[in-house]
A and B are shown apart, each in its own frame.
Chain A
Amino acid sequence: MVDDSGQLYTIEGIAAAILMIFTAYLAVNTAVVYTPQDVHIIDMQLEQLGNDALVVLDTPPSESEKSPLQDYIERDKPEWFGNNFTRLMNATTSGNPDKIKYTATVYYRDIADPTNVRTHPFTNSTTSSRYYRENAVNVSRLVYVNDNPYDAIVDDQVVLLEVMVWRD
């Protein structure tokens, strides 16, 4: 009943099995399964990128100097912020630059009424965009300003720069 007449077929079967398993393994490893929930991964990367860009802008070039971000807010120059922020956000190592849009707002405490938060849009028409409910992430940074341009009552204050970032 049991003999060794089919040895070659057996070896061929095993070889074919190994080949097929290996091919299937390669195939499932190469293809990225993209499900709608995976936008969280994109969000996470975008949030990290946005925060990194804000950290770069909030780092003074040398000690006892103001950070660029502080300078932009004190002098109320959203276009300077926009140029540098979009340059950092859209930089790629090769090929076309990325297409990341943003809109920014400065939040600060109302000194006359300390329980009230006041807002000031930190946008300009050439670099920032209007937000129409795209899938955006929110990044923010506390910035010390020595001269609040929106509130004449107070000299130095900590304001919060909030930037909404999304990929077009």
Chain B
Amino acid sequence: MAGLNDDAQWIVMLGFIISILILFLALIVNQSALVGQTTAESVLEFPKTSIQDTRNELMTLKDSGLLKSSLIDDIEFLSMVRRGAVVSVNTSATYIHYNDGVTTYNETIGGG
């Protein structure tokens, strides 16, 4: 052991520990970017506003007594052509079905 100085072993060991900790922190940061991306993607993919819009339009028409089969046809047709979603509504708008291939939404409104 002559000439080998083991005075600073603690500091050297802490240096190792810190470097490993920084590595783990870097991994966490790396993952967080991925989490943000996938979250945003699933929010973009989920047709929340389309369903709300379809519901809102049907309910408003129903409440104001304007609902008729040609308007339901318009909604179903435009949803299919422009939003790529199958929308199916019965004539009294008590049943709403929405399916865009990823998300399915069914609603039955009672008392209608």
Listed in ascending order, the chain A residues whose CB lies under 8 Å from chain B are 6, 9-10, 13-14, 16-17, 20-21, 24-25, 28, 33, 35, 37-38, 40-41, 43-44, 47, 51, 107-109, 114, 117, 137, 139-144, 154, 156-160, 162
Contact = CB atoms under 8 A, between A and B. Distances in A.
A159 B18 contact: no
A142 B75 contact: yes
B14 A144 contact: no
A3 to B, nearest CB: 12
Contact of B74 (A17, A40, A108, A162): A108
A9 B40 contact: no
Contacts of B43: 44
Nearest to B19: A20
Interface in B1-44: 7-8, 10-11, 14, 17-18, 21-22, 25-26, 29-30, 32-34, 36-37, 40-41, 43-44
Interface of B: 7-8, 10-11, 14, 17-18, 21-22, 25-26, 29-30, 32-34, 36-37, 40-41, 43-44, 49-50, 53-54, 57, 60-61, 66, 70-71, 73-75, 77-78, 81-83
Contacts of B36: 38, 41
B49 A139 contact: yes
A108 B82 CA distance: 10
A142 B14 contact: no
Nearest to B43: A44
18 contacts: A6-B10, A13-B11, A16-B14, A20-B18, A24-B22, A25-B25, A43-B40, A51-B49, A107-B81, A109-B73, A114-B73, A117-B77, A139-B49, A140-B83, A142-B78, A143-B57, A144-B66, A159-B78
Contacts of A160: 78, 82
B32 A109 contact: no
A41 B75 CA distance: 30
Contact of A38 (B30, B33, B54, B77): B33
A160 B78 CA distance: 7
Most chain A CB within a 10 A radius of its CB, from B40, B73, B81: B40
Nearest to B7: A6
Nearest to A157: B74
Contacts of B49: 47, 51, 139
Task: Name, among B18, B21, B49, the residue most crowded by chain A CB atoms within 10 Å (CB to CB).
Answer: B49
A162 to B, nearest CB: 6
A4 B75 CA distance: 82
A40 B35 CA distance: 11
